[in-house]
Structure 1
Amino acid sequence: MNFLRVPFVLLLTGVLGLAGCSVHQPTSLYQLDSGDPGQPKQSAGVAVLLGPVSVADYLQRETLLQRQADGSLTASTDGRWAGSLSADIDQLLLRQLAWKLDSQRVVMAPAAANFTPDVQVVLSITRLDSGENQPAVLDAQWRLLDRRGTVRDSKLIHLEEPHAGTSAAQVKAQGVLLQRLAEQLSAAVKPVASQPLVAEEPKKAAQPAKTRTDQDKPKIPMASPIRTDLEVFRF
């Protein structure tokens, strides 16, 4: 009996070992490519508040998603994000904008109470994905607000970027899309930051209420007699 149990134990050990290898198969971790942004030099450049930046709900996950030809999304089996994708997007856009505007005064929302931005960028990213045979696609909308909170510019963006098909190539292409978005944003921010504030219409001084006088009272015509056989008064 003991002799027969030994092969069974060895077989069971081998099966468990193979299962362990399949469960602990290494997974690649990815981060967005922020390019090579330089260090902004102007400490007194344009003041920009970046945010709120909202990202579509389906992107709020660690798994790297793959877009299929029919438009559906599947989870990648060999890759996931190394941390928060939303945080990666924020930092990429922040560094790119600061570099392209050459300003150290580009901050993420919420900002300190004493920070007064020349321009606030409100951004919504509704799509950022790709597939092995599908290009990387970015859909977004921005709104630019001046110092008084008045919307000065608004735009819908659709960008596409081809890639080689691998997960690494797809992530790189998505990073390139965000760099292109930052380039367009910086070009839109500059004229808004230099625009004068919208002048407020002067308020009209309140007119004092008039006091009713005897001259304002309606005048009743005086009766004048008409000489006929009868005394008739015309009013």
Structure 2
Amino acid sequence: MTALRLPLILMLAGVLGLAGCSVHQPVSLYQLDSGSPVQPAQSTGMAVLLGPVTVADYLQRETLLQRQPDGSLQASTDGRWAGSLSSDIDQLLLRQVAGHLDSQRVVLAPATLGFSPDVQVLLTITRLDSGEKQPAILDAQWRLIDRRGQVRDNRIVHLQEQHAGTTAAQVQAQGVLLQRLAEQLSVALKPLANQPPIAEAPRKPAAAKPAAPAAEQDKQPKIPMAAPIRTDMEVFRF
């Protein structure tokens, strides 16, 4: 009886060991490809406030989603984002836009006290995903607000990039889409670099006090002027 139980115990141990290995299988972590942005040299270049950058709710998670042929999304089993995807997007766009504009004065919202931007970029990303057999797709919209608070440009963008199908290739393709978005955004920003300064409103002169009407002037008591009388002493009579 003991001899029969021993092979059974060994078989169960092997099955449990294999199950444990499958559960603890390492998962790859991914970050967006930032490309090779040019390091900006101008410290007095165009001042741009980048953001707020709004990312679709379904992207605000560590799970790397896969687009299926029927349009549905499924969590990837072999990879996830290494941290916050929203932060990755912010940093990629910041470096790309700063490089294209050659300006060290590109900052993420909210701006620090005293920073006065030439343009503010309001950006919304509504889609950024891909699948093993689906291309990487980016849908976004931006609005450019000048220093007077006027909307100078409003654009809806749809970009698409093919890839080799692996998870790594998909992540790389999504990074390429964001690089292309930053390039198009920079082209739209450059014409707004030479805005005329905002003129200060002229000060209104102080209003002159209106003269009293003639009727009121007649009512006011008149003080007689002193007239000297020549005597031994000079006396003034009022």
Aligning the two structures, in what range does the TM-score lie when normalised by the shorter sequence? 0.7 to 0.9
Say whether the 8 Å CA contact 2:118–2:195 is kept in structure 1: no
Partner of 1:22: 22
TM-score of the two chains, using structure 1 as the length reference: 0.82
TM-fit CA distance, 1:161: 0.7
Question: Secondary structure of 1:113's partner?
Answer: coil
Name the amino acid aligned to 1:80: R
Name the amino acid aligned to 1:155: R
Matches within 5 A, 1:167-178: 167-178=167-178
Name the amino acid aligned to 1:32: L
Measure the CA separation in 1 of the matches of 2:15 and 2:69: 37
Partner of 1:232: none
Name the amino acid aligned to 1:165: G
Question: Secondary structure of 1:124's partner?
Answer: strand
Partner of 1:194: 194
Q: Give the fraction of aligned pairs with identical amino acids, expressed as a percent.
A: 77
Aligned length: 211
Gaps in structure 2 of 5+ consecutive residues = 206-238
Measure the CA separation in 1 of the matches of 2:136 and 2:201: 48
Gaps in structure 1 of 5+ consecutive residues = 206-235
Aligned-pair Cα RMSD in Å: 2.4
Measure the CA separation in 2 of the matches of 1:126 and 1:204: 49
TM-fit CA distance, 1:201: 9.9
TM-score of the two chains, using structure 2 as the length reference: 0.81
Question: Secondary structure of 1:153's partner?
Answer: strand
TM-fit CA distance, 1:101: 0.4
Partner of 1:31: 31
Question: Secondary structure of 2:165's partner?
Answer: coil
Deviation digits for residues 94-147 of structure 1 (CA, Å, limit 9, x no counterpart): 000110000011111111111111111110000001111111100000011111
Say whether the 8 Å CA contact 1:146–1:193 is kept in structure 2: no
Measure the CA separation in 1 of the matches of 2:60 and 2:16: 34
Matches within 5 A, 1:3-152: 3-152=3-152
Measure the CA separation in 1 of the matches of 2:182 and 2:148: 23
TM-fit CA distance, 1:197: 5.9
